[in-house]
Structure 1
């Protein structure tokens, strides 16, 4: 295990203490999944609360841990069987000693993430030489790097101000930085307060910010029926969410909580997310022996983090993705 993960494990112990929400060793019929506060994880709560998992004999425990190093450390130590996170985020932790793979795609950001800028900054190229508030090491940094590369720039061409997405939005609206990378509801707040403009949002970069459910390899191998039940439960939940948006928003608000504790806020946030049913997962992730477009995101993440962190990342698609449980539509 890497020094970074060992350090995160010690921090995890301090952060969660004896929380009953974090389970111990994996057991048949149970999956414990860590996640941050994000509307894209809504299908997990819908499937849980409507009994879709239970109907297949599966108990899914969902635990909120806001820092990626902590939920990945929890999975590495066996306190969690899996995580819901962006695939670029988890790629940094994959190693021969820490084996996990993505078994389904949950959602992609389709307007939920954005770059906010002050007047006079009218393109990504205009960020050159400017201070940009962004959470280093996060998906926000990954996405910003992608945007900069498309504009012929790199992270070295801007002045990075490291802060969380919420703090970045606050710093921007207070006039302390001319640009920030953040997400909803901060993007809407910037527009409502006329504090600046949303220069670009993730609708312009489909398929780049993608959330997946990743499980430890030992769990996948020993609990295939549970993985199958997870995939099928999420598929049912996505269908329900399409047919019953108001009821789904109430379920998600109750489950996700945090800044999404009100159904109306969930409904607004859902506008910036595209959810994947099983057919969508197949289209994105592919089938055994036939990688889908997600392979390009994995390659991009390897390249991006290698440049940003100054060390080589070369995680293979097959190391990070397992499509055996996805059944194509007929």
Structure 2
């Protein structure tokens, strides 16, 4: 009898261990991912995929945290408090180093009118800004984009007088006649138009593919959680399709998720007109060609501009910043 009971106990113990292992396995499959980002219409698909359950379908629990300062969410990624971020390619280039490895796994959108230069009505071109004071956020995508515009006009940043301020403050200073020129973004461009204040001299619809937002993940996270990265990408593919098929409902969900100045679905829809959301086909197109393709040329341009200002921690190449292995799955 004792032998039989002993065998029973051993069997029960073995079954318990098996069930425990199964529980751990299931928990591991239901992975988690924490991302930081600013308040921007182009990040709406992340919230849509989360709130529509598209990430959950792939066994992934995604936490999205709004942090309005890039240096703060990048520091959180470096410290392991976040697994990655959503930001522009040029922005994250400045933080890439030999010791801080992260790579872009998905392109979310590009600004198509959402960024712009506010100037007096009499100004005809970017070249006419020579010698004028310009309010912009140094070290941000505004400085990156504005320097491209200056280069195209045959100028450099030394040809204008830069006053460092946030994009919001630059717009406010322009509206109050404290500075003549501001590099900013929505909703300030629309507000200036409504109040008939100066003009939008140039907006990003004239420079497609230069202000591109991506999801970048810590290299260790990518290596250790390939199934979760795949679930992230597939969830975003599905979210993009939903936006095309049912934009009104998509804007409602995204507005609620993103919040802030975009919490009203009407404001979100209006701002969404200033971006191009990237789905599966556009991601394949954008990253095609490696260093010689769109993404590669943009990274090279970022290297030239930020390297010229001494903002890079290393010579960032395409392969240092991009992992396309999950896009075709």
TM-score, normalised via structure 1 length:
0.89
Aligned pair partner of 1:274 in 265, 276, 281:
276
Q: Is the 8 A contact 2:96 2:313 kept in 1?
A: no
Shift, 1:246, TM fit: 1.1
Asked if 1:217 is matched to 2:219, the reply is yes
What secondary structure is seen at the aligned counterpart in 1 of 2:327?
A: coil
Residue 10 of structure 2 corresponds to: none
- Tell me the residue number matched to 2:100: 98
Query: Structure 1 residues 59 and 178, CA, compared in 2 at 3 Å: closer, same or farther?
Result: same
Name the structure 2 match of 1:144: 146
Query: Rg: which structure is higher?
Result: 2
1:264 to 259, 263, 266: 266
Corresponding residue of 2:109: 107
CA contact (8 A) 2:31 2:228 kept: yes
Please state how far the C-alpha of 1:308 moved relative to its aligned partner. 2.5
Matched with 2:323 is: 322
- Whether the 8 Å contact between 1:28 and 1:223 is mirrored in structure 2 is no
Distance 1:143 1:313 in 2: 21
Partners in 1 of 2:278 and 2:215 — Cα distance? 12
- Kept in 2, the 8 Å contact 1:34–1:82? The answer is yes
CA distance, structure 1, for counterparts of residue 98 and residue 58 of structure 2: 32
Bigger helix share: 2
State the aligned residue count: 302
CA gap of 1:200–1:131, structure 2 versus 1, over 3 A, is: same
TM-score, reference length from structure 2 = 0.89
SS in 1 for 2:63: strand
| Residues 195-215 of structure 1: CA deviation (Å, up to 9, x unaligned) | 110001001111100000000
Aligned-partner Cα distance in 1 for 2:292–2:33: 26
RMSD: 1.6
| Counterparts in 2 of 1:68 and 1:216: CA distance versus 1, 3 Å | same
Task: Note if contact 1:155-1:308 (Cα within 8 Å) is conserved in structure 2.
Answer: no
Unaligned runs of 5+ in 1: 1-25
Ranges in structure 2 where 5+ consecutive residues have no aligned partner:
1-27
Deviation at 1:275, TM superposition (A): 0.7
Residues 1:30 and 2:64 aligned together = no
Quote the Cα distance in structure 2 between the aligned partners of 1:278 and 1:211.
Answer: 15
Q: Residue 27 of structure 1: CA displacement?
A: 9.5
Where in structure 2 are the equivalents of 1:123-272 lying within 5 Å?
Answer: 123-272=125-274
| Kept after mapping to 2: 8 A contact 1:34/1:63 | yes
Alpha carbons 2:170, 2:182 under 8 Å: kept: yes
Q: Which of structure 1's runs of 4+ aligned residues deviate more than 6 A? A: none
| C-alpha contact (below 8 Å) 2:98/2:314 kept by paired residues | no
Equivalent position SS for 1:111: coil
Q: 1:285 aligns with which of 284, 287, 290?
A: 287
- The Cα of 1:114 is off from its aligned counterpart by 0.4
Q: What secondary structure is seen at the aligned counterpart in 2 of 1:248?
A: helix
Give the whole-Å Cα distance in 1 for the aligned partners of 2:304 and 2:210.
Answer: 14
Which string of whole-angstrom CA distances, capped at 9 and with x for unpartnered residues, describes residues 209-229 of structure 1?
A: 000000000010110000001
Shift of 1:296: 0.5
2:44 paired with 1:59: no
